[in-house]
A and B are shown apart, each in its own frame.
Chain A
Amino acid sequence: MTLTPDERARRGLRESATFDRTTIAAIQRAAETGIYDIRGWGAKRALPHFDDLLFLGASMSRYPLEGYRERCGTDVVLGGRNAKYPLHLDIPVTIAGMSFGALGAHAKEALGRAASAVGTSTTTGDGGMTPEERGHSKTLVYQYLPNRYGMNPDDLRRADAIEVVLGQGAKPGGGGMLLGQKVSERVAGMRTLPVGIDQRSSSRHPDWTGPDDLAIKIAELREITDGEKPIYVKVGATRTYYDTRLAVEAGADVVVVDGMQGGTAATQEVFIEHVGIPTLAAIPLAVQALQELGLHRKPDGVQLIVSGGIRNGADVAKCLALGADAVAIGTAALIALGDNDPRYDTEYARLGSAAGFYDQFQAGQDPAGITTQDEELQRNLDPEEGGRRLANFLRVLTMEAQTVARACGKAHVTHLEPEDLVAISIEAAAMAKVPLAGTSWIPGQDGGF
């Protein structure tokens, strides 16, 4: 029985802040099943995030640009440090790595269609490259993962860039999971695994360990692809300053930092909520490392892509202002395709969930036809329509970022800078290293505490 706050107060019922109902349900579930909870999505707890930052629009001391009239560029070049063919993207918003297996083929195709329509890149994932994805993606980044499922040199050469994945924000230090319901014949075939098993991906690469080895591995990938492709290194946000430095010193052309709000298709709840640091905290650490190496926003520098909880153009603009060169979206992209759409309310209710709450991506029963291998369910996602919706969303993100940039007087979205930002919480001010609004105080800097 659900009681309103008024009824609870009238009856004198008090909920424990420590043992709230979600916590009680988790204990009861664990006692019942004897195994940890596995789910999709990213961290659901409240964290210091981009909503805790605000832009200082132009006024007396800064000139704004005219909306819709004065040009505000959005293009970005990635990977020019070492690669013969760096990526030229029209917008600074890319599609993050999501596997065929976690997602169905329709969803992967839709991601590719959308990215191509707006001139950006999409990314493969655990499980290899599908012909649908390559065929519909003008610019495709190929993830090189610890398990190497479906990895082959032909796909490596077919890719436009290579992303060596060390971790992701939802589970830094953990490998992927794909529960048996989704290990269909096609998925199993691509991964060389028995059909229907609960698949465990590796958490470490099989043939290198540590930064010195990574340098040799990156050199090998360059040799195999004749130095043509940009090589990214992706890390889950933890010790981001050191990870960024080490990745760059190992030869990365682009560093991808995924904060703990970054999504997953299947990971232990304890991992999602308790390992990693917020995206907001990670960006300045990565930027500091690049600045100290003299490679931040330089013609032959290393670019930074940030992901984890990016939802709108303001988030994009804030990432760029803090020093990212581009962002990647995953969860928001799936929502744009139709994930958690209220039109599936009945189906979500049947699965014990509701629109806005559905996170059981591991179960393979997604009514929206996105995180499933079930052919019947996948029919609910028309790749063309999904691609159109996501392309729209990407355009909105870009226009919103431009709106903010013009208001701050910037002729290019990457001209946004920390000086354009203030924080509205002490935590956000300390993490983002921008002043608390109305003060010049950045906690932890200039003798602050």
Chain B
Amino acid sequence: MTTYDLTRTPLREVNQALHAPGLSGEIVIAGPQGAHSVAVGLDAPVKVTIQGHCGYYAAGMNKQAEVTIEGNAGTGVAENMMSGVVHVTGSASQSAGATGRGGLLVIGGDAGARCGISMKGIDIVVGGDTGHMTAFMAQAGRLVVRGDAGDALGDSIYETRIYLRGTARSLGADCVEKEMRPEHLEELEGLLKAAGYPDDDPASYKRFGSARTLYHFHADNSY
């Protein structure tokens, strides 16, 4: 196991070490103290544990790696993630998992506004509530919210599937509740299990997605 202490080693040095070819094993990053861009651009099958709160873009653009943030994460955690797993034990600020294209993001606590904005294939599981504009313009992937969602859930959504256990304060443009078919229950069960919530009953969730009425410019589609 390799340990870096961000109170002693510059961030660039730590990130560059994480980009070394053939990286493997387990890495601990101590003392993040809210630093931005911690463990960004990883592309190796390694386990990284960040011991503390992170600022913006923690584990941004992650590929392959399994990153655990022991604390809260700032704006854009795991933004544009390609694969691997990012687990935030605390809560996450806005734009969590933004534009993510693959992998799994688990947020133990709550997520702020625009969680899953423009997501393109990532799976996101939020243990608590999410803020307004959750899954705004979400294109692909799955988003699970175990608590409630704020205003305008799924506004201008494309093909992302949203599973919500609580209630949404309001639905965004073109977002509608959809039938929970057996394949969706099965899909949700898998997601909950992967995120560490195997005891949740998938049947207690509702599914939301696109009504697909905004897919083409039309006079009646303006606001």
Contact = CB atoms under 8 A, between A and B. Distances in A.
Q: Do A and B bind each other?
A: yes
Interface of A: 33-35, 38, 147-148, 151-153, 156, 179-180, 191-194, 197-198, 200, 202, 206-208, 213, 216-217, 219-220, 223-227
B99 A148 contact: yes
Nearest to A33: B219
A152 B80 contact: yes
Nearest to B77: A207
Contacts of A217: 56-57
A207 B114 CA distance: 9
A81 to B, nearest CB: 16
Nearest to B136: A206
B103 interface: no
Contacts of A153: 41, 43, 61, 63, 80, 82
B36 interface: yes
A202 B99 CA distance: 12
Interface in B22-65: 36-37, 40-41, 43, 55-57, 60-61, 63
Contacts of B55: 216
A2 to B, nearest CB: 32
Given A34-B219, A219-B36, A220-B56, 10 more contacts: A33-B219, A38-B217, A148-B99, A192-B140, A202-B118, A206-B95, A206-B118, A207-B98, A207-B99, A224-B61
Nearest to B16: A226
Interface string B113-153: 01001101100000000000000110110000000000000
Contacts of A207: 56-57, 75-76, 79, 94-95, 98-99, 117
A124 to B, nearest CB: 16
Given A153-B82, A208-B75, A226-B15, A220 B99 contact: no
Given A193-B139, A206-B114, A35 B219 contact: yes
Interface string B190-223: 0000000000000000000000000111110010
A194 B99 contact: no
A220 B60 contact: yes
Contact of A220 (B57, B218, B222): B57
A216 B98 contact: no
Given A202-B118, A223-B40, A213 B75 contact: yes
A34 B156 CA distance: 22
A199 to B, nearest CB: 9
Interface of chain A, main secondary structure? loop
Contacts of A206: 79, 95, 98-99, 114, 117-118, 136
Interface of chain B, main secondary structure? loop
A151 B80 contact: yes
A216 B137 contact: no
B159 A194 contact: yes
Contacts of B117: 206-207
Contacts of A219: 36-37
B169 interface: no
A374 B63 CA distance: 34
Contacts of A152: 61, 80, 82, 101
Nearest to A156: B61
Contacts of A226: 12, 15-16, 19
A395 B101 CA distance: 41
B11 interface: yes
A194 B101 CA distance: 15
Interface residues of B, number: 44
A73 B32 CA distance: 48
Given A35-B217, A197-B215, A206-B95, A216 B158 contact: no
Given A207-B57, A220-B36, A179 B217 contact: yes
Given A192-B139, A194-B159, A202-B118, A35 B218 contact: yes
Contacts of B36: 216, 219-220
A194 B43 contact: no
Given A153-B63, A192-B140, A197-B215, A220 B37 contact: yes
A223 B118 contact: no
A433 B139 CA distance: 47
Contacts of B80: 148, 151-153
A34 B57 CA distance: 43
Interface in B83-129: 94-95, 98-99, 101, 114, 117-118, 120-121
A152 B60 CA distance: 11
A208 B76 contact: yes
B140 to A, nearest CB: 5
Contacts of A194: 158-159, 215
Contacts of B158: 193-194, 197
B121 A192 contact: yes
B12 A180 contact: no
A-B pairs, top 4 by smallest CB distance, nearest first, are: A224-B41, A207-B76, A34-B219, A207-B95
Give the residue among A179, A192, A197, A207 with the most B Cβ atoms within 10 A: A207
B24 to A, nearest CB: 19
A198 B218 CA distance: 10
A148 B118 contact: yes
B215 A223 contact: no
Contacts of A197: 158, 215-216
A337 B34 CA distance: 51
Give the residue among A38, A198, A213, A227 with the most B Cβ atoms within 10 A: A198
B41 A216 contact: no
B12 A192 contact: no
